[in-house]
Amino acid sequence: MNGIQMVDLKTQYERLRHRIDPAMSEVVSSCTFIKGPALKEFETNLANYLGVKHAIGVANGTDALQIALMALDLKPGDEVIVPSFTYVATAEVIGLLGLIPVMVDVDINTYNIDISKASSLVTSKTKAIVPVHLYGQSAPMEDVLAFADKHNLFVIEDNAQAIGGDYKMSNGTPAKTGTLGDIGCTSFFPSKNLGCFGDGGALFTNDDDVAAKIRMIANHGQPQKYLHKVLGVNSRLDTLQAAVLNVKLEELDDFATRRQAVAAAYDDAFENIEHIVCQKIPAYSNHVYHQYTVRITNGQRDELQNFLKSRGVPSMIYYPIPLYKQEAFSKYHNDIPHEVTEQLCKEAISLPIHTEMESNTQDYIINSIESFFEK
């Protein structure tokens, strides 16, 4: 079978272009490229969707994380706890600001931060924690919040992979992922669950002062034009991207449903394959499947990947090397190795999943995997 992709952006665009093209066209014909009406509209729509007071568009998800740390007034030398199994951006911005990323291991069932291992990492310099909602399901937020409360830490949620996901509090109250900490951050990179046509990102918060500060920092530190209160950055979400996102936000729940159907078919098929262990979904979270990622427990993950490649089935290893083993982080003397992160780097493999998966394509992928394990 030809042309199987990890993510099929083209077919999704074809399906939605009758709504996206006019929205983009309106921005172009009105030349409202910077801070245009579609951006304001999107920020309002996103805040309403998430149930937060403020959503602020920025240039990308990495900037969102950086601006969040800046808005909370963290100072060089302050320590920030992050999981060691995540995309580099989460820890990179911490180091860039002169803060110290302190890495903590993750849980083998959910692949998310293991709070039980975080207490021993707290020092008098620890000021914040950045849980990552990896692959599309929430970190254990009530545990994170209780931990943060106990140690007086800010909580910045890296929601780049789980936008649209649902968290359920232990008392039954629902919340969207990314809205429980002090600041939530997300990315609109094209392949993310809510993706635009280039780079984009956003921060969300319920705190009016923090929101004002985020806006100021993202705009060269100016509360008003030519008055520069702090050193800031130039990080904007283009109006064109906001126009695309306004259309796609209306589809976000449907996107999740489509991804969940693909995941359910994989789950069913893999139930009887001894060496495949699927990600566990905890009671407090649903899963919006930015990635469908399983563990291959017989040591043949890389062989499986090569076999699938030979059959035209792409797959990805997110992430092959623990962050603390990356040269960029060598100076932080993180407490290594982390048992679960090491294991996931060797065992995890992500399979094609997106909003346009055809059942015959998925059958082919599943048959290919089955035949590998029947060899």
Ligand X SMILES: *Cc1c(COP(=O)(O)O)cnc(C)c1O
Is residue 92 at the binding interface for ligand X, with CB under 6 A as the rule? no
Is residue 79 at the binding interface for ligand X, with CB under 6 A as the rule? no
DSSP type of residue 213: H
Which residue from 132, 196, 199 is spatially nearest to 165, judged by alpha carbons?
A: 132
- Cβ closest to ligand X, residue 136 vs residue 232: 136
Question: Which range binds ligand X by CB under 6 A, 19-27, 56-64, 351-359, 365-373?
Answer: 56-64
Instruction: Enumerate the H helices of the chain as residue ranges.
Output: 9-30, 37-50, 61-71, 88-96, 141-151, 208-218, 239-270, 301-310, 339-347, 359-374
Cα distance between residue 286 and residue 165, in whole Å: 6
Is residue 61 at the binding interface for ligand X, with CB under 6 A as the rule? yes
Among 189, 220, 316, 373, binds ligand X (CB under 6 A): 189
Rounded to a whole number of angstroms, the minimum distance from the CB of residue 51 to ligand X is 22
Pairing of strands 126-129, 201-205: unpaired
Is residue 60 at the binding interface for ligand X, with CB under 6 A as the rule? yes
Restricting to residues 145-174, which ones interact with ligand X according to CB under 6 A?
Answer: 158, 160-161
Taking the CA atoms of 115, 121, 125 and 130 in sequence, report the sign of the dihedral they define.
negative
Question: SS3 for 174?
Answer: strand
Question: Which range binds ligand X by CB under 6 A, 27-35, 60-68, 207-215, 281-289?
Answer: 60-68
DSSP type of residue 249: H
DSSP type of residue 193: S
Is residue 206 at the binding interface for ligand X, with CB under 6 A as the rule? no
Question: Which range binds ligand X by CB under 6 A, 1-9, 58-66, 216-224, 239-247?
Answer: 58-66
Among 201, 232, 322, 352, binds ligand X (CB under 6 A): 201
- Cβ closest to ligand X, residue 90 vs residue 239: 90
- Cβ closest to ligand X, residue 8 vs residue 92: 92
Phi first, then psi: give them for residue 166, nearest 5 degrees: -115, 135
What residues make contact with ligand X under the rule CB under 6 A?
60-62, 86-87, 89-90, 132, 158, 160-161, 187, 189, 199, 201
